[in-house]
Amino acid sequence: MQRKKRVLVTGSSGQLGTTLQKLVQPIDKSIEFEFANSKDLDITNLEAVTEFLNKYSFDYCVNCAAYTQVDKAEEDSERALLINQQGAQNLAKACHAYNIVLIHISTDFVFDGTKNTPYLETDRPRPMGIYGHSKFKGEQEVVRNMERYFIIRTSWLYSAYGHNFFKSMLKYGMERDQLSVVFDQVGTPTSAHDLSEVILKIISEEIDAYGIYHFSNEGVASWYDFAAAIFEINHIEVDLRPIRSKDYPTPAERPSYSVLDKSKIKHVLHLRIRHWRRSLAEVSKFME
């Protein structure tokens, strides 16, 4: 009888970790999942990480743990680097020691947004703020410390769980008559459900084409477009107005263009990726 694959998911209380938990409940019983939040496993503590991974015979580790508060990171850089860089380094070292495949989630914020065509995995990262810088440093630690890894950069992640733009817009749309959203930052919304399915595909099919990949839903949108679609699909009446980024200053500067090229992951995994509006409509059903 073949041994079950064992998978550790860190950051299980975040939106991606929660989505993975909801998704794996009915799937193939040949895979066992261990979901760990920050209280169960502190990834910033190498001794704790090594002990945890040594205790269980994991085949995969999906690192969903991250410091994701983009603006707060500007004044809390030490904490952001501790989680996003040191945490990634600790997991990479321990996974390498115990021959565990690491699936590490990264971000479009590793790029500066000055390009006007979709970003390739081979494009040089130039993060603009502390959050992007800490995530890029985390990527470097993974590459430096192991060989069997998948780094998946994604963009504008949202779900029915946790804190994200989608849920914020639903809340504000119900509370306010008028909203202003920037229209000069362009990227692609990504459903955490769709990203979770990609992660599970890598694990269930035992894909071994290791390296860096980009994944988002198909299509392109501004934050204004994304908000407008959220209100339209969820039948919320609100006076939505487009504004420029300079009229809505934030502590952290955002890339003005962060569309990701997904050719590589589509070819390697034989994927057909859904348009962001279709995925948004499906996620919205969970909120009804």
Higher-pLDDT residue of 229, 31: 229
Is the pLDDT at 27 greater than 80? The verdict is no
Is the pLDDT at 26 greater than 90? The verdict is no
* Mean predicted confidence (pLDDT) in 232-255: 93
Nearest CA to 20 out of 144, 191, 276, 218 is that of: 191
State the pLDDT at residue 207. 96
State the pLDDT at residue 30. 76
**Segment 253-286, tens digit of pLDDT:** 999 999 999 999 999 999 999 999 999 999 999 8
Q: Are 73 and 252 in contact (CB under 8 A)?
A: yes
Q: Dihedral through CA 100, CA 137, CA 10, CA 211, nearest 10? A: -40
State the pLDDT at residue 2. 62
Distance of CA 59 to the CA centre of its chain: 21
User: Percentage of the chain surpassing pLDDT 70?
Assistant: 98
Predicted confidence band at 23 (pLDDT cuts at 50, 70, 90)? confident
Catalytic residues: 131
**Segment 190-240, tens digit of pLDDT:** 999 999 999 999 999 999 999 999 999 999 999 999 999 999 999 999 999
Is the pLDDT at 287 greater than 90? The verdict is no
**Segment 126-167, tens digit of pLDDT:** 999 999 999 999 999 999 999 999 999 999 999 999 899 999
Average pLDDT of every residue of the chain: 94
All structural domains of the chain:
5-163+189-219+263-274 (3.40.50.720)
Is the pLDDT at 94 greater than 80? The verdict is yes
Predicted confidence band at 182 (pLDDT cuts at 50, 70, 90)? very high
Burial 154-178 (b: 16+ CB within 10 A, else e): bbbbbbbbbebbbbebbebbeeeee
Is the pLDDT at 28 greater than 80? The verdict is no
pTM: 0.95
d(CA 22, CA 29): 14
